[in-house]
């Protein structure tokens, strides 16, 4: 009796998805536990595995949108693989080349020069060259017509995740009064600390000490100092959060995802780095789960890893703030009346101006700057 492969429930409010990859071909043998397909939804991508060994028969195609519970394939237990036998193609006999025309015969595509007996060798060469030029013009093949508009473009449907991202961004622009304020921070102290501690930190904890853990710590400190940024509007009510679940934007082949580091205020630098490393592995393998993306109170986005020097990040609803990190670039700055070269980073805080005033936003960003430029404060929890 065949076993049905159904689309399982992958998260609350998710009713459908798109088959992005079939990892097995129709009629191919599968083993229990093997990955059969990758399903993209508007929140996560997930892999479906075989519950039985046998031969698979596909009932849905790549790119098809399928509903939760829909049967997309069947597996015949114990059946052997159906091998596709290619149809032998008959050999097409090679066409015989047309016989070469005799030198004395001129075809419609040839012009035989007529040379008078008194023609000199120079005149003969000129006549032959002229004849060859004429022959080339006669044999010239017209250029192929330009491709049609449809042949010059390609179309494909947006994935559910990309549609969801688009809808979220448009909703954020329409429903919040987004304003962005900027500052810059000197990365010298953090870079020096990382260089001094990296070897010992990696040996002790098995992960590298990155920049993001410093910024998460700095954001937690700033959220404590400016609680309005750790709040959101719900209708005509202001909801204040008293916890610190920080979202970290991660770019993937399937689109932008924001997994959430839970209780970041209770984690050490090593704990933060391990949490982010685990999310990075899940993102690369397409195994980010729905619950990994829920419940964040604030987001950090690092466009600097792609070379971005400055940007205005868009809020991640229903959050009221997002911090944009950017490329570290050596620039001349004034320090105690002297111009020096320092590794600088622009910081951008976008926030919902309906509940966060300009003074509070600037205070928040200055707090982040102070924490990064004085990392000892973060080490001591100040």
Residues designated as active site: 353, 357
Q: Which two tokens stand for residue 251?
A: 């770019």
Give me the helix-helix angle, 358-373 and 188-205, nearest 10°. 60
Q: How does 249-284 read in b/e, with b if 16+ C-beta sit within 10 Å?
A: bbeeebbebbbbbeebeebebebbbbbbeebeebbe
Tell me if the bond preceding 318 is cis, omega within 30° of 0: yes
What is the full DSSP assignment across 264-333? GGG--HHHHHHHHHHHHHHHHTT---GGGGS--SEEEEEGGGGT-----PPP-TT-SEEEEE---EEEEE
Between the alpha carbon of residue 176 and those of residues 5, 232, 235, 310, 361, the distances in Å are 43, 10, 12, 22, 15
């Amino acid at each position: 009796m065949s076993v049905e492969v159904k689309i399982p429930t992958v998260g609350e409010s998710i009713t459908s998805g798109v088959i992005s990859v079939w990892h097995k071909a129709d009629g191919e043998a599968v083993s229990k536990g093997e990955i059969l397909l990758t399903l993209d939804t508007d929140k996560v991508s997930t892999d479906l595995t075989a519950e039985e060994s046998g031969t698979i028969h596909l009932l849905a195609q790549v790119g098809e949108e399928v509903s939760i519970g829909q049967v997309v394939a069947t597996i015949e237990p114990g059946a052997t693989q159906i091998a596709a036998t290619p149809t032998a193609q008959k050999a097409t006999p090679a066409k015989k080349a047309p016989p070469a025309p005799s030198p004395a015969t001129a075809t419609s595509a040839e012009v035989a020069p007529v040379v008078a007996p008194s023609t000199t060798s120079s005149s003969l060469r000129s006549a032959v060259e002229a004849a060859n030029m004429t022959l080339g013009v006669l044999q010239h093949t017209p250029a192929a017509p330009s491709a049609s508009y449809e042949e010059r473009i390609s179309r494909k449907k947006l994935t559910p995740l990309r549609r969801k991202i688009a809808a979220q961004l448009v909703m954020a622009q329409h429903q919040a009064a987004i304003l962005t304020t900027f500052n810059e921070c000197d990365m010298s102290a953090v870079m020096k600390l990382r260089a001094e501690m990296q070897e010992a930190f990696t040996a002790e904890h098995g992960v590298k000490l990155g920049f993001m853990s410093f910024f998460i710590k700095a954001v937690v400190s700033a959220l404590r100092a400016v609680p309005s940024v750790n709040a959101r509007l719900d209708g005509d009510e202001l909801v204040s959060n008293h916890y610190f679940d920080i979202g970290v934007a991660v770019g993937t082949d399937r689109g932008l995802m924001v997994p959430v580091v839970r209780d970041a205020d209770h984690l050490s630098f090593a704990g933060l780095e391990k949490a982010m490393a685990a999310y990075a592995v899940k993102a690369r393998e397409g195994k980010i789960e729905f619950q990994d993306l829920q419940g964040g109170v604030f987001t950090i986005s690092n466009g600097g890893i792609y070379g971005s020097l400055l940007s205005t990040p868009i809020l991640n609803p229903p959050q009221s703030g997002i911090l944009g990190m950017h490329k570290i670039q050596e620039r001349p700055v004034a320090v105690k009346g002297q111009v020096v070269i320092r590794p600088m980073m622009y910081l951008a805080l976008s926030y919902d101006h309906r509940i966060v005033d300009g003074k509070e936003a600037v205070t928040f960003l200055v707090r982040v700057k102070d924490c990064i430029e004085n990392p000892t404060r973060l080490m001591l929890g100040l």
